[in-house]
Structure 1
Amino acid sequence: MSAWRFSLLVLSAGLLLTAAVLAWRWTLPAGVPPPPVPADNPTTAAKVELGRRLFYDADLSADGTMSCATCHEQKHAFADGNRTHPGVTDEPGRRNVPGLANVAWFTPLMFADPANTTLETQAASPVFGTRPVEMGMAGREAEIGARLGRDHCYRAMFARAFPEDGGRIDFANVARALASFERTLVSYGTAWDRQQLGPDAKAGSGLFARDCAACHSGPNFTDLTMHRLAPADAALADQGLFEKTGIDADRGKFRTPSLRNVALTGPWWHDGSARTLDGAIARHGLTHDAEEMAQLIAFLEALSDPEFTRRKSLAMPSEACGKRL
C-alpha cells in the first residue's frame, strides 16, 4: 500500500472516530426535537460525564461546601424544597430555586434576566454572582482551574472532553461541560405524556386549558415570557425584570415557570412564598370552587415524572476514572 493511501486511510479513520465521539444520541419521545446546542459546544459523552461530576462537586464554591446539586436536588426534580437557599456566606437567597427538567429547551433561563439565554452563560451566575452571593467565587476564577487541575482524574476527563484545546481546565470549559450535562436533564415520562390521566386529572386538564394555558403553554408549560401578576410596586425588594431594563413597565415582571414536575418543586412563586399548590393557583386571581381546585391539582400532579427523580445517569456519580469518589 502506498504511503499516501495509508495516510488517507488513517485520516479517514480519525475523522470517523471524531464523528463518533461527537455524536450524542438523544433519547426523546416521538415529535420532540433535540434541544438547540451551540455550535461551539457540541454535546459528547465525555462532556456529559465531566459535567455530571462537576455538577456535584463543591470545589466550585469558595469554601468547598456548595455544589450545583446543593440547590438542585434530583429528588425535587432538581429544585430544592426551600423557599430560597442561602449561599456560602449565609446571605439569604432572593429567588426560589427552579427545577431543571427540560432546561435545554429554555431561553431565557432566569426568572428576570433576558440576557441569560444559554446554559453556558448561565453557569457564571451562581458561581460568581454577588446579588446574592451563592457559590462565592467572584474574583477567583483562576482558582477553579487550579483546584480541579490538582486531580489527575479531572485532568484526564478534561483531556477527553476538550481535545481541541489540549484539555484546558478553566471556567469556560467547566461551563461547557456543565451545560452539556444539564442538557441531558430530560423529563417526558409523566402521566400526561403517556396520556394516562385519571378522571380528576382529565377534568383538571380542561380547566387548565381554559384558565392557565395562555402563559403555561407548550410541551413544557411555559411561554418563556415575562409577566406581572401582582400590581407594580416600587417599594418591593425584588423588582424583577425592571432591575435589568430600568423600564417602569417591567416592574414586577418574572418569567413564566415551567410546570413539569411542579408538584415536586415547591414552594412556588419566584420568591417561594406560596407554600401550597392551591395557594399558588389562587394568586393568579382566578375563582375555582373546591372541586375545581382539586381537579386542577390532580392535573398538576400528573405532570410529575418519578423516573426522572431516580434516573441513575443523572445522580451523583459514585466513581470516576475507574475509582470510587
Structure 2
Amino acid sequence: MKGSHLGLILARALALSALTAPGAHAGTGVAPPPWTWDLPPGVPAPLVPADNPMTSDKVELGRRLFHDTALSITGTVSCATCHRQDLAFTDGLPQAVGATGQSHPRGSMSLVNVAYASVLTWGNPLMTNLEAQLLVPMFGDHPVEMGMAGHEGAILARLRTDKTYTLLFAAAFPGPDPVTLHHLAQAIAAFERSIVSFRSPYDRYRYGHDASAISDAAKRGEALFFGERLECHHCHGGLTFADDERTATTALAEVQFHNTGLYNLGGSGAYPVGNTGVHEITDKAEDMGAFKAPTLRNIALTAPYMHDGSIHTLSEVLDHYAAGGRTLKDGPHAGVGADNPHKDPLIQGFTLTEPEKADIIAFLESLTDQALLTDPRFKDPFSK
C-alpha cells in the first residue's frame, strides 16, 4: 500500500470515529466504576486515552464485538479470526486473509499487551491510536479485511435491534444515543487493551523470584539474549520484549522501526513491492524495509515469523540474525540480506553453537503465558 492510500484510510477511520461522538457518559452525571488491572507487582499500568477510560461494561461489550462475525461483509470473519486466543491473538498464517479471500501482505500481529504499544502496525508510524486503527480492518478496502465500507448504517441498524447489544451498549455508554460507530470502536479498543500477559514461567522466575520456574537451559538462554554478543535486547527489551513500550508513567515512547536484512532484491536494498515497510509512508530510501520489532511474549505460539511470515521456525529466525541477514539464492526475491545498504547497524551477525541456540529457544519458550490461552475473560461469548 502506498503512503497516500494509507493516509486516506486513516483519514476515513478518524472521520468514522469522530462521527456521532458525544461524551461517553454525557447527560448521566455518573462516573463509571474504576477498572482494576490484573498486573503483577512492579508492572505499571498501560497508558489509556482520557476520552476512553477502561470500564468492565465497556470491555465486556468489546469482547462480544471482537468475536462477532456479523461485523464482516460475508458474516464469516471477526476480529478474532485473525487474532485467535489459542495462538496468543495471532492466526498462524504467513499473511492474514480477509472476508472475501483477499490476502493481506503481512501477518497478523499479536494483540497481547497492545495497550503498551506506542505504534500498532508493522510499518505505519502514524498508526498510534487503537480506536482509529481497528476501523481500518473493518472499513478499509486495500486489502479488504472485514469489508464493511459503505455498510456503516447496516451495522448500526443491526446493533440497535439486537436485544443483547442494546443492553450492553446502554451499560457501557449511558446516554441518549449509546449505539454509535464511535462507541463501537471505543469498546473494541477497551477489550483489546484488557488483553495483558505477565503470567509466563519467565515472569514467575524474574519478577516472582521463583528460581524453579524455568529450566537451566532457559536461564542460559536469558544470559545470551541480554548479552552484547547477540544484541537481541536492544530491539526486544523491557516488559513487553519490544522497543516501543509505553506505560501510564512513561507516556512518551521512541518509535523505532528496523531493516533486519530480510531482503536485498538485486543488491539494491529493495524489498518486495507492496511490502516495503515505513518506506510506504515516507518514500524515503533509508526507510526501505523498516518494520516494527514485535513483542516476543508468547513468541513460541505465533509462527510463522517476520512481517510477511517468510520464516517458519524460531531456529530459522536465529539463523537469520546469526548470518546478519538472510540470503535467498534464487527466485524473484534473490539477494544477500546481510549486504542490504539500509540494514539496521545492530544486525551484525554472530556465532552461535547448536547448544546455545537450544538455550535461547528454551528462554523464548519460557515467555509463553499458558493461562492467557484459555482465560475466560477473553473467550468467544458466542461459543457453546
Give yes or no for TM over 0.5: yes
Q: 1:241 aligns with which of 248, 267, 278?
A: 278
**Which residue of structure 2 aligns with residue 161 of structure 1?**
172
Out of 252, 258, 263, the position equivalent to 1:227 is 258
Structure 1 residues 158 and 130: alpha-carbon distance in aligned structure 2, compared to 1, 3 A threshold: same
Query: Could you tell me which residue of structure 1 aligns to residue 152 of structure 2?
Result: 141
Residue 274 in structure 1 maps to residue 291 in structure 2: no
The alpha-carbon deviation at position 270 of structure 1 amounts to: 0.4
User: Are the equivalent residues in 1 in contact too, given 2:74–2:100 (CA < 8 A)?
Assistant: no
Aligned ranges for residues 273-292 of structure 1 at < 5 Å? 273-284=310-321, 285=324, 286=349, 287-292=351-356
- Relative to structure 1, the CA distance from residue 255 to residue 234 in structure 2 (aligned partners, 3 Å threshold; closer, same or farther) is closer
Q: How does 1:43-82 map to 2 (within 5 A)?
A: 43-82=54-93
CA RMSD of aligned residues (A): 1.6
* Whole-Å separation in 1 of the counterparts to 2:355 and 2:114: 33
Offset of residue 167 of structure 1:
4.1
State the match for 1:213 in structure 2: 233
Q: Percent identity, aligned pairs only?
A: 43
Asked whether the 8 Å contact 1:22–1:42 carries over to 2, the reply is no
**How far apart in 2 are the matches of 1:95 and 1:181?**
23
Deviations 1:113-162 (A, max 9, x none): 11111211111121112221110112322222112112022111111111
In terms of mean alpha carbon deviation, does 231-240 or 199-208 score higher? 231-240
5+ unaligned residues in a row in structure 2: which ranges? 1-27, 206-212, 245-255, 325-348
**Cα drift, residue 49 of structure 1:** 0.7
CA displacement, residues 275-302 of structure 1 (integer Å, 9 cap, x when unaligned)? 1111112222233111111011000000
Q: What one-letter code is carried by the residue in structure 1 that aligns with 2:243? A: D
Question: Which has the larger displacement, 49-58 or 169-178?
Answer: 169-178
Give the stretch that moved more between structures: 135-144 or 195-204: 135-144
Deviation at 1:234, TM superposition (A): 5.5
For residue 220 of structure 1, give the secondary structure of its aligned residue in structure 2: coil
| 2:197 corresponds to 1:187 | yes
Contact 2:298 2:367 in 1 (8 A): yes
Aligned amino acid, residue 301 of structure 1: E
Change (3 A) 1:295 1:57: same
- The number of aligned residues is 303
Q: Report the equivalent of 1:6.
A: none
Cα deviation 1:177-210 (Å, max 9, x = unaligned): 0011111101000111011221100000011112
Runs in 1 of length 4+ with deviation above 2 angstroms? 139-143, 234-237
Contact 1:261 1:303 in 2 (8 A): yes
Is the CA contact (8 Å cut-off) linking 1:161 and 1:167 kept in structure 2? no
Q: Which runs of 5+ in 1 are unaligned?
A: 1-13, 320-324
Give the distance between the partners of 1:234 and 1:45, measured in 2 at CA: 44
Which amino acid in the other structure matches residue 217 of structure 1? G
Instruction: Answer yes or no: is 1:34 the counterpart of 2:71.
Output: no
State the Cα deviation string for residues 191-246 of structure 1 (Å, max 9, x = none): 11011221100000011112200111111111022110114306544111111111
- Measured after TM superposition, the shift of residue 318 of structure 1 is 4.9
Are 1:200 and 2:217 matched, yes or no? yes
Contact 1:59-1:147 at 8 Å conserved across structures: no
Q: Is the 8 A contact 2:57 2:172 kept in 1?
A: yes
Alignment partner, residue 308 of structure 1: 372
The residue number in structure 2 matching 1:8 is none
- Out of 108, 116, 122, which is 1:97 matched to? 108
